[in-house]
Structure 1
Amino acid sequence: MTLQIVEPETSDRTRTGATVEFRGLRRSFGATTALDGLDLTVEPGELVALLGPSGCGKTTALRTLAGFERPDAGTVLVDGEDITAVPAHRRDAGMVFQSYSLFPHLTALDNVAFGLRMSGIGKAERRARAAELLDLVGLPQHAGRYPHQLSGGQQQRIALARALALRPRVLLLDEPLSALDAKVRLTLREEIRRLQKQLGITTFFVTHDQEEALSMADRVAVMRAGKLEQCAPPAELYARPSTAFVAEFVGVMSRIPARPGPDDGTVQVLGRTLPVDGRLPDADGTADVDAVDVLVRPEAVEVAADEEGTSRIVGASFLGATTRLAVRLADGAEVTADVPTHAMATLPVGAAVTLTLPDRPVLVDAR
């Protein structure tokens, strides 16, 4: 299914992406709050991934932008215009679903041209434009095939071409790759990103796959319980998460027990005193400053074989050039560490080791 634009596209004018704003969006379903005051602004031509656990509100936010859901409060603006009450079929948007939703009785060409026909565009023009879009998604030779004659990846390309047929300024992708196998997903996500950048369409991409979000998006919006935890470029989100939830949800993060250091803004961890990236929890009754955790990524943990070490390797997972170790500390805490696979000769499961962290600021959270 594709959201249809009422205005026929008969001119050759260039379409550009739109600015999209969510302002204080709230939406509840009975006792369940799906959106709880969501605020988010997306710039023209940006691809923003909505990422979060099941039930966090990411799909509800997308459906609210599409016009399939009406918020209980708040507004949706496109280029400054309030479209909160505008019906779905009048919004300048194209949508691609996980389930493809192609018409089984129509050929690939006719599926792509369907929205154009509904908009009153003549047969010759709509077939020419549909053919151009099939070429754009790399399927010109499949124009006469029916959905049952296409693979899952090919069907999703047709669905994408159909969503683009009316030249929308906003493209909405609701977990469009989750039903595909890993190799096809990788190819299609690269193709979607290429097309999105080429066409300059403001795009929202809902996904539960962190790798997809981090590899495709200009910015990733991490949601939790209907609220926005952080929206930032992938590298910033990974390296400088603003909350403990983001730190532990995006990528792999270990908690290492630590104590405040001798100087303000430092922490003692694994036998070292390191600067804190941010403030230690305040002694205001909500956090115990004598019990904190340092949050570290696997690649930041250095592992060395040490017969007298108090930590022990309890698991190993081969990842190709690297191997991911599970290391149990003396106090029972478990830390994940990535090491070069060639180093595993001296780091077998069961070996005693010493862990250290590099001399740079660390993230700290209350225990």
Structure 2
Amino acid sequence: MTLLDTRTGASVEFRALRREFGEVKALAGLDLSITPGELVALLGPSGCGKTTALRVLAGLENADSGEVLVDGSDVVGVPANKRDMGMVFQAYSLFPNLTVRDNVAFGLRLRGKPAASRHKRAQELLELVGLDSHGPRYPHQLSGGQQQRVALARALAIEPRVLLLDEPLSALDAQVRNQLRDEIRRLQLRVGITTLFVTHDQEEALSIADRVGVMRAGRLEQCDTPAELYARPATAFVAEFVGTMNHLPGVIAGDDVEVAGCRLPLANRGTRTEGQQVKVLVRPESVSLDPSADGPVKVTDHSFRGAVTRVTATLPDGTMVLADLPSVSAVDLVPGTSATVGFGTRPVLLATES
């Protein structure tokens, strides 16, 4: 058996999933479908329900109501050890008294696999995660990143239908986290396993997932590709939560909004009335600044970031605005420069009404 012989991933579906802890609604009717072999990341603030959703799928938490379907069959009520799920947590949870190879093969031993086949499988997985020479070592002889690779290999060894990753990288330093993030994605694509990845890290979610689901108060605000989620957020909450966003003062003008002398099309006027003062959400890359001797905007900071330079400027009313500009066109926008400002032509969102 080779790694490429493993079966394709399972479909997963949450239907109207509810879970309450006292008065706290951890899941308030969650609906989500994951296609076979897809990696979906759940992202959201603390307490939004993302980890509860993963634990319900794993069988570590019971839902109050709703369905959890794996390949079309409801697994609510099925014990966790019968669900055929592989799990990797923030804590590595390796057995300190077992070698790396035996840690990886542990699940196979529980399933009664012969020693020769489980050792062969463990070696295949260690090669997959780049630790083929580390089999005889013990966990304390490995770095944090290596230990997490072993935990991932152990989860994959049993050929689970679904792989569940609960903040698996948050205990690692930034450089190792980035390397292992890319490694997880490579492995997931190679093995073709359906994966649910829970994280609080926006960059992590956007860089690793086929789709990202943004959760809020136990519900899914939007689930879309990273590019679509960033460029076309469905709600003001998603727009504000994902990426950097300017909050600029504006005034409702018909179907548009006026911001710093510019009239912009609106995506979500809602119940706002003519002339109402609002906060307008604009991405830094949608802001343009052009040097002008009599421009009403003043540049206050200039931060070179390689191909992009982040320029901070102050609008006539004192509001600070961030602009991410190509570095080649931002060389003259040094602190003290006067400039004019623009915000593109795409419809903008208004901040959530308080």
- Both structures adopt the same fold (TM-score exceeding 0.5): yes
- Aligned partner of residue 346 in structure 1, secondary structure: coil
Tell me which amino acid in the other structure corresponds to 2:120.
Answer: A
What is the aligned partner in structure 2 of residue 84 from structure 1?
76
Letter in 2 for 1:259: V
Decide whether the 8 Å contact of 2:6 with 2:159 is kept in 1: no
Instruction: Choose which of 269, 286, 289 in structure 2 pairs with 1:280.
Output: 269
> Alpha-carbon deviation of 1:99?
1.0
Q: Which amino acid aligns with 2:233?
A: P
- Within the candidate set 328, 340, 351, 2:337 is matched to 351
Once the 2 structures are TM-superposed, how far is the Cα of residue 114 of structure 1 from its aligned partner? 0.3
Give 1:324 shift.
Answer: 1.8
In structure 2, distance between residues paired with 1:229 and 1:332: 33
Q: Which consecutive residues of structure 2, in runs of 5 or more, have no partner in the other structure?
A: none
Match of 1:4 in 2: none
Superposition RMSD on alpha carbons, in Å?
A: 2.1
Q: Which amino acid is 1:322 matched to?
A: V
Mapped to 2, the partners of 1:334 and 1:305 lie a distance apart of 17
Question: Does the CA contact (< 8 Å) of 1:281 and 1:366 recur in 2?
Answer: no
Residue pair 2:260, 2:315 contacting (<8 A) in 1 also: no
How far apart, CA to CA, are the structure 1 residues paired with 2:284 and 2:151? 39
- Match in the other structure for 1:291: 277
Give the deviation of 1:30 after TM superposition: 2.5
Counterpart Cα distance in 2 of 1:38 and 1:333:
38
Q: 1:255 matched to which residue of 2?
A: 247
Q: Alignment identity in percent?
A: 62
Aligned to 2:294: 308
Pick aligned residue for 1:117 from 105, 109, 120: 109
Report the CA distance between 1:351 and its aligned residue.
3.3
Task: Confirm or deny: 8 A CA contact 1:114 1:162 kept in the other structure.
Answer: yes
Give unpaired runs (5+ residues) of structure 1. 1-8
Amino acid in the other structure paired with 2:269: L
Shift of 1:88: 0.7
Alignment pair present for 1:16 and 2:11: no
Give the SS at the match of 1:62.
Answer: helix
Paired residue for 1:106? 98
2:309 equivalent to 1:323: yes
Paired residue for 1:29? Answer: 21
The alpha carbon displacement at 1:315 in A equals: 3.5
* TM-score, normalised relative to structure 1: 0.89
SS of the residue corresponding to residue 41 of structure 1 reads strand
Classify 1:13/1:252 alpha carbon distance in 2 versus 1 (closer, same or farther; 3 Å).
closer
Displacement of 1:14 in angstroms is 4.1
TM-score by length of 2: 0.93
- Shift, 1:342, TM fit: 4.9
Judging changes above 3 Å, is the alpha-carbon distance between structure 1 residues 279 and 33 closer, same or farther for their aligned structure 2 residues?
closer
Measure how far apart 1:123 and its partner are: 0.6
Aligned residues between the structures? 351
Q: Distance in 1 between matches of 2:140 and 2:352?
A: 54
State the distance in 2 between where 1:32 and 1:56 align.
10
Matched, 1:147 2:139: yes
Q: Does 1:216 align with 2:216?
A: no
